[in-house]
Amino acid sequence: MKLVHTRDISIRTSDLGDHHILVEGVLIDHRYPPGQPSSEETKLVHHMAIRLTVKGPEMLIKQAEATMPHHPRKECPDVLPSFRNLEGVKIAPGYTMRVKKVIGGVKGCAHLTSLVISMGESAVQGYWAAYDAERGKKGLREHTIQKFINTCHLWREDGTIVKELRETSKS
């Protein structure tokens, strides 16, 4: 087996205050020259980044910006303005389909579209981390639980986590 390609994806979420979060995603691709799989011999192919400012609890994308510090073709950055079309999109059921409709195909970049889709999940996790305690105090926990119900096995409606969260929000 020989290593021929690596892709590193990093997604960070920061609390901006007033129910706004900043989600920053970075994608970096390296390729190895044929027959020389050494980290010192890699060729940088892609270095792309996206910044999304998201307002909760509705999870509305208020601002979107994409950059390409390194790209393989001079035409690649031509699609960067299209990522502003993410502004107004909600991170909610149907998010992946909406993202593909807005920036997919010839309107965008396959690598950045994939990154934006992953960033949606991170935005939900980041918002939850930043504002969970506040939601519990203000009785908004049930609203948040509803967003997660039946999204996976753990969050099934009759599962223990949903029952536990509902019980703690009553006390």
Ordered strands of the 20-31 beta sheet:
5-17, 20-31, 43-55, 60-70
The domain total for the chain is 2
Higher pLDDT: 75 or 171? It is 75
**What's the CA gap between 148 and 150, in Å, rounded?**
6
pLDDT for position 100: 98
Same domain for 60 and 97: yes
Which structure tokens are listed for 119?
């960033």
Helix 95-103 / helix 110-138 crossing angle, nearest 10 deg? 140
Residue 111, pLDDT above cutoff 60: yes
Task: Verify that 23 and 58 share a domain, yes or no.
Answer: yes
pLDDT the model gives residue 10: 98
d(CA 25, CA 71): 16
Q: Are residues 144 and 170 in the same domain?
A: yes
| Three-class HEC string of 102-144 | HHCHHHCCHHHHHHHHHHHHHHHHHHHHHHHHHHHHHCCHHHH
Same domain, 114 and 171: no
Domain match, 66 and 79 both: yes
Query: What is the reported pLDDT for 49?
Result: 99
Tens of pLDDT, residue by residue over 13-58, are 999 999 999 999 999 999 987 766 555 678 899 999 999 999 998 9
Phi then psi for 155, rounded to 5 degrees? -95, 20
- In the predicted structure, residue 153 carries a pLDDT above the cut 80: yes
Looking at the structure, tell me whether residues 160 and 96 fall in a common domain.
no
Percent of the chain topping pLDDT 70? 88
Per-residue pLDDT tens over the stretch 59-73: 999 999 999 999 999
pLDDT of residue 139: 56
Does pTM top 0.75 for this prediction?
A: yes
Residue 69 CB contacts under 8 Å (≥ 6 apart), including other chains? 47, 48, 49
Query: Tokens 């995603």 appear where?
Result: 25
Q: Domain range for residue 89? A: 5-134
Q: Are residues 21 and 103 in the same domain?
A: yes
